[in-house]
Amino acid sequence: MSVAMFFVATVCLSQNITGKVTDDTGSPLYGAKVMIGGSTQGGSSDQNGEFFVKCKKGTQRIVISYYGYEQYDEKQMVANGGLDLGTIALQPESEPTDSLHVLEKLSDRHTPTTHHTYNSNYVTERNIVREIPYLLEYTPSFVATSQGGLGIGFTNFRIRGMSSDAINVTLNGIQLTDPDSRQTLWHHLPDLASSINQISITRGAGSSTRGTYAYGASIDLTTESPSAKPYGDVSVMGGSFGTIKASISAGTGIMKNGFSIDLRMAKTISDGYIDRANSNQNAIMVSATWHGKRNSLNANIIYGKQKSNITMWGCPS
């Protein structure tokens, strides 16, 4: 029985796929991973970039990957005698250029101010339906408040005891703080946190480029960079007091003409913890980017529509 099984295995994997893996300049890539799709058969390239993998005859999906380079993924017909792929030149992964925020001055560790910077991982972990003030509630000297009790709809915050009319908020360097009321109306931009890549908080008086309302603190929000690869995602989450959030996001990745389009839509409904604190929110964000060799041009459209009830009771007559 053992002889028969060995014979079958030898027949099934009797063909060789050979080739050489290089970068875009022709230099061999050592240790590139070569796999046969849908199986455990695989190998890696040697110091000369050369490889060989055993497989069975027929159409095979060949996947070659190397860190920092775009993946090779093609179906090839393997006939009797094997297949020589020749030289496979992997292209470096396209990395979207970071946004340049004119007039924005983010604090760093050399700036003589107290500040915190939160990256996308922090935002993603805490982005559970609620508005941005509740994502930051564990920041030192930060107090978040909510009219409905859940952090959805009408929300506000204080930093070091200073109310929000002494705190300047910007989005990609553009002021969000209303110049008349000096308030940041978070409920007018529902689910904004899903589009945020970084949040920087400076406590105390900020630099003059942050605006006249920055004498209490400053909050700088930066949106996500466009994705280099196509993607799609659907998310539904629910919680107490009739709270439900459904969202869908998709992106084209960087197309051959250098353009990329990212779209995100979300809907949030909640009855609220306090009586008459129900909220119905809709959010859309569209980002279009043109990627050049040394520069890029990005346009963001953020749209929010919401209806949040007021929980305050009127004075008795």
Q: Which residue has the tokens 């991973």?
A: 33
**Does residue 303 form part of some domain?**
yes
- Tokens coding 151: 């952090």
Residues 196 and 123 in one domain: yes
The whole-angstrom separation of Cα 317 and Cα 311 is 18
The whole-angstrom separation of Cα 102 and Cα 106 is 11
The whole-angstrom separation of Cα 192 and Cα 174 is 15
Each of the 317 residues of the chain gets a pLDDT tens digit; together they read 444 444 444 445 568 888 999 988 888 888 888 888 877 778 888 888 898 888 888 888 888 888 778 888 888 888 887 888 889 999 887 655 455 544 444 555 555 567 778 888 888 878 777 888 888 888 888 888 888 888 887 888 888 888 777 788 888 777 777 777 777 888 778 888 888 888 888 887 655 455 556 677 888 888 887 777 888 888 888 888 888 888 888 888 888 888 888 888 988 888 888 888 888 888 888 888 887 777 778 888 888 888 888 777 666 66
Q: End of a domain among 180, 203, 223?
A: 223
Residues 219 and 240 in one domain: no
Residues 173 and 206 in one domain: yes
Indicate yes or no: pTM above 0.75.
no
- The pLDDT of residue 110: 54
Based on the number of CB atoms within 10 Å of its own CB, is 114 exposed (0-12), middle (13-18) or buried (19 or more)?
A: middle
The single-letter code of the amino acid at 5 is: M
| Residue 170: domain span | 114-223
Plot region of 276 (φ>0 → left; ψ -120 to 50 → alpha; else → beta): left
Residues 119 and 215 in one domain: yes
Q: End of a domain among 205, 223, 241?
A: 223
Answer whether 314's CB lies under 8 Å from 293's CB: no
Domain total of the chain: 3
- The pLDDT of residue 9: 42
- The pLDDT of residue 304: 84
| SS3 category, 3 | helix
Residues 119 and 216 in one domain: yes
Residues 121 and 218 in one domain: yes
